[in-house]
Amino acid sequence: MGKIRGLKRKFGNSLRDYKAYLTHYNGYIELYVPQVTYKENTIHGYSASKFLVKNTIKNMPSGANYIYIFDENNTLNNHVIITNEKEELNLGLIKDQNGTKPVYIKNLEKNYNLKFERHLASWEMKEIEYLHLEDEDKEDILYIEKEDDKVIAITNILWTCSGFNDI
């Protein structure tokens, strides 16, 4: 029962955030998207499968650009960025063709007519800097790629979907 109550609170808090931020939209907002990968369809009045489309896609300001960002390794780390300027959606991610789409991403594509792409979040440093990193900083790194005297650290595998709300 505690898990259901926690999810209901999370959905309720997100609804309040959406209403507050979208009412006072001034050209740029970042919103948390509740865990859309939850296995049950209904959580006491909230339909998990319809939450995304009812409360973000259909409530975006007209003429706004958006990007959904879903973290493959941490399904609680899901966000949408809504902005008037398309350039603000360039997050410096590396496009990646490897890997297979998780089932929940396939379901989002099917249910909401969205198209997700796989990206990698990374940061670059000199090899000597990498060798001197603290152990706790290295824990956040999924893997590294070496290129000459620099190291590219991959920290997240993200699924993104961007678009324009012309409604």
B/e letters for 112-142, b = 16+ CB within 10 Å, e = fewer, are: bebebebbbbbeeeeeeebeeeeeeeeeebe
Q: What's the Rg (C-alpha) of the chain?
A: 18
Average pLDDT over residues 43-55: 58
pLDDT, mean over the chain: 80
Distance CA 2, CA 11 (A): 14
Distance CA 22, CA 59 (A): 8
Residue 115's pLDDT is 92
Distance CA 146, CA 150 (A): 6
Tokens 């780390």 correspond to what residue?
Answer: 77
Residue 33's pLDDT is 78
Tell whether the torsion through CA atoms of 38, 44, 49 and 50 is positive or negative.
negative
Task: Name the burial class of residue 70, with classes exposed (0-12), middle (13-18) and buried (19+) by CB atoms within 10 angstroms of its CB.
Answer: buried
Residue scoring higher pLDDT (44 or 95) = 95
Task: Name the burial class of residue 64, with classes exposed (0-12), middle (13-18) and buried (19+) by CB atoms within 10 angstroms of its CB.
Answer: buried
What's the pLDDT tens digit per position in 66-81? 999 988 887 777 888 9
Instruction: Judge whether 29 and 14 are in contact, CB under 8 Å.
Output: no
What is the model's pTM? 0.76
Average pLDDT over residues 116-128: 91
Task: Supply the DSSP symbol for 127.
Answer: H
Q: Evaluate if residue 132 carries a pLDDT over 80.
A: yes
The DSSP bridge pattern shows strands 150-164 and 65-71 to be antiparallel
